[in-house]
Amino acid sequence: MLNRRAVLAAGLAMPAIAHAQGWPNRPLTVIVPWAAGGGADTVTRIIAAGIEQELRQTVNVVNRTGGNGVVGHSAIATAPADGYTIGTGTSEFVNFRLLGQADLGPNSFDLISRISLIPAGVTVKADGPWRDFAAFAAALKEGRKGQYTGSGVGTGGAWHLAAAGMTKAMGLPADQIRWIPSQGGAPALQDLVAGGVSVFTGSPVEAKALADAGQVRVVAVMGSERMAAYPDAPTLKELGIDWTFENWFAFLAPRNIPAPVRAQLVEALQKAHARPEVRRAMADRGIVPIWETSEQFATFASRVSDTAGGLLRELGLARS
């Protein structure tokens, strides 16, 4: 015979179990804090197609730009905790508090897993003055601080750190390249083509269509090895510059999703991420897939915050 406490416990558990059994019974939403066409958007749409196959539900990718990623990340953190809205977090959210941009950080989210690694690159205008990295580097060294401009993300974002670390490794000030903030890779590349900025230090993945069209040229990559999509672009290491930089994207969710729903959600995301067509689509674009536990992700986020903090302080951007 069940006692009263057991009956009450069973009654409390029933809504969560029923919710999990009925999930998902409507479309899901994935929030991307950056503009359509950029790296985060590209990765998200590739995996979203896999999620649709796993769950047999529509997955709507929604771009919520603004505030160096703050607007979109805030929307992820404050979404209903029902398993129907998640987001693609980018490395910027780790530093929002340090930059004084928002009271958001790793503890504001349910950290599900990193999903991809994408190396930074050095991309210039195809009909500009630099045909290779050596020419670009010479101009940087001969020019005055701030003479040449870079873009790809908001101030203090991942691609800004990529540029700062590169110039520092070249023996130049971290702020040798004057940063022009943007809402993501796609608009920054359009500025590059139009001659509004000197260099794009975001992912070569984002530059592929314009590179194929002969409008931009990837003269180097910041990964540990050359990219299959750009076999002629050397790594900075090959060029004698001791600097690598790989940005990362991750699945985040609002905190406190009911445990049974969260378990199904994470399982569906992991299976979608592992689908052969999803892996192939990422590999074709030079995107490195990654999946880990929430605990591993949290440990990584803490470590990368320390590294980024040093560069942000050198750039004079840290508020604490």
Residue 163's domain spans which residues? 121-244
Mean of the pLDDT values across residues 156-178? Answer: 95
Alpha helix positions (H), 68-222: 70-77, 96-99, 133-142, 158-169, 185-193, 204-212
Residue 201 and residue 143 share a domain: yes
Residue 295 and residue 234 share a domain: no
Number of domains in the chain: 2
Share of the chain above pLDDT 70, in %: 93
Query: What is the band of 109 on the pLDDT scale with cuts at 50, 70, 90?
Result: very high
In a domain, 319, yes or no: no
In a domain, 15, yes or no: no
Looking at 244, 261, 292, the residue that finishes a domain is 244
**C-alpha 3 chain-centroid distance:** 51
For residue 14, pLDDT over 60 is answered with no
For residue 3, pLDDT over 90 is answered with no
Query: What is the band of 16 on the pLDDT scale with cuts at 50, 70, 90?
Result: very low
Residue 216 and residue 255 share a domain: no
Query: What is the band of 286 on the pLDDT scale with cuts at 50, 70, 90?
Result: confident
pLDDT digits over 38-90, tens only?
Answer: 889 999 999 999 999 999 999 999 999 998 899 999 999 999 999 999 999 99
Scanning the structure block, which residue is given the tokens 């985040």? 252
In a domain, 189, yes or no: yes
Residue 252 and residue 105 share a domain: yes
Residue 233 and residue 90 share a domain: no
Q: Give the CATH number of the domain where residue 157 resides.
A: 3.40.190.10
In a domain, 19, yes or no: no
User: Which of 39, 135, 242 has its CA nearest to residue 148?
Assistant: 135
Query: What is the band of 21 on the pLDDT scale with cuts at 50, 70, 90?
Result: low
For residue 130, pLDDT over 90 is answered with yes
Looking at 212, 244, 276, the residue that finishes a domain is 244
pLDDT for position 60: 98
In a domain, 44, yes or no: yes
The predicted model scores a pTM of 0.78
Write the single-letter amino acid at 177: I
pLDDT for position 5: 42
Residue 108 and residue 86 share a domain: yes
In a domain, 18, yes or no: no
Share of the chain above pLDDT 90, in %: 74
Determine the Cα–Cα distance for residues 238 and 223; give it in Å rounded to an integer. Answer: 11
Distance (Å) of CA 320 to CA 68, 108, 270, 310, 312: 18, 19, 36, 11, 10
DSSP notation for 98-109: HHTS-S--GGGS
Mean of the pLDDT values across residues 126-148? Answer: 97
In a domain, 1, yes or no: no
Mean of the pLDDT values across residues 275-299? Answer: 93
Residue 166 and residue 259 share a domain: no
pLDDT for position 6: 41
pLDDT for position 37: 85
Residue 175 and residue 273 share a domain: no
3-state helix, strand, coil in the chain (%, to 5): 45, 20, 35
Q: What is the mean pLDDT of the chain?
A: 91
Looking at 220, 244, 268, the residue that finishes a domain is 244
Mean of the pLDDT values across residues 255-269? Answer: 98
220 touches 128 (CB < 8 A): no
Residue 213 and residue 263 share a domain: no
User: Which of 176, 94, 170, 156 has its CA nearest to residue 312?
Assistant: 156
Q: Give the CATH number of the domain where residue 52 resides.
A: 3.40.190.150
Residue 149 and residue 235 share a domain: yes
Residue 256 and residue 152 share a domain: no
User: Which of 247, 229, 225, 227 has its CA nearest to residue 116?
Assistant: 247
Mean of the pLDDT values across residues 10-25? Answer: 57
Query: What is the band of 20 on the pLDDT scale with cuts at 50, 70, 90?
Result: low
In a domain, 197, yes or no: yes
Residue 162 and residue 106 share a domain: no
Query: What is the band of 15 on the pLDDT scale with cuts at 50, 70, 90?
Result: very low
Scanning the structure block, which residue is given the tokens 């699945």? 251
For residue 7, pLDDT over 60 is answered with no
